[in-house]
Copies of this chain bind each other. A is one copy, B any other.
């Protein structure tokens, strides 16, 4: 760099340092006493390794005796997660000013409670892999699903983050689900409750809101929103049931939106592509949209065979 830029750097550093002294939310953080996003992503990687031990490698530890390696990783996750939780708990009003010992004790209890949930999380994921294999003709093996399906990764993160959410851990669950959102395009709030045998196909663009309840054997395609009818109430709506309830055996095809906290989709309902649903649907019903009529114009000289293009009656076929 020339002299001029070297001198300017000093001014720039001063300019930015002065800027940090202004009031404002973005200047309030405290690096040494806050959860760390990179650490949380590292915990996720190790949890994935614990949950699917024979599929994902741990780079640090190499061992032919998986048991030793897994024991070490489980211990490491417990330690790291406990640390992150102890920072996060400070965001709960009751712990904001509490003694360090109080927070540490609460954090350890939560960490132990969470770690003991791992077998239950694995039990659910076994059913999710099963559902993906049964539901997708493009799946060649269950291993392919475990290795590569974004839906399985997103569901794994939801099942982990949801346990932390119901243990009242602030910040960390959402950092985890937003990491999954970044990797998969599937945005499931950690508050959402999801039953066994859940299958997400393709997944990109899916949004599942905080107070959604989903039963067992539910199947959801790309671009589906399970959302709120309006959020213009902002923070005043916190805690209210704003998102729908989906009962067992429901299938929701691509691009459909189901909105509202009182909206209940009954057992075995099928919701067709792009349907926009804002009230309840009784069980065993097929709901489809009359997709917008198509218009055709041709540049060819030949007569246009309208019949060939007839779109009527395909809806029953779709769902």
Contact = CB atoms under 8 A, between A and B. Distances in A.
B279 A144 contact: no
A196 B277 CA distance: 33
Nearest to A72: B13
A27 B144 CA distance: 14
Closest 5 CB pairs of A and B: A29-B54, A137-B237, A289-B292, A276-B291, A148-B178
A143 B34 CA distance: 10
Interface string A261-290: 000000010000111111111111111111
Size class of the contact patch on chain A: 35 or more
B143 A171 contact: yes
Q: How many copies, total?
A: 3
B138 A209 contact: yes
A97 interface: no
Contact of A276 (B187, B209, B273): B273
A238 B293 contact: no
A272 B283 CA distance: 28
Interface in A103-141: 104-105, 108, 111-112, 115-116, 118-119, 122, 125-126, 129-130, 133-141
Contacts of A116: 12, 15
A319 interface: yes
A138 B308 CA distance: 38
Given A115-B12, A122-B19, A317 B278 contact: yes
Contacts of A122: 19, 26
A294 B147 CA distance: 38
A232 B31 CA distance: 50
Contacts of A5: 78, 82, 108, 111-112
A27 B125 CA distance: 11
Contacts of A102: none
A4 B108 contact: yes
A103 B115 CA distance: 41
Interface string A302-314: 0011001111001
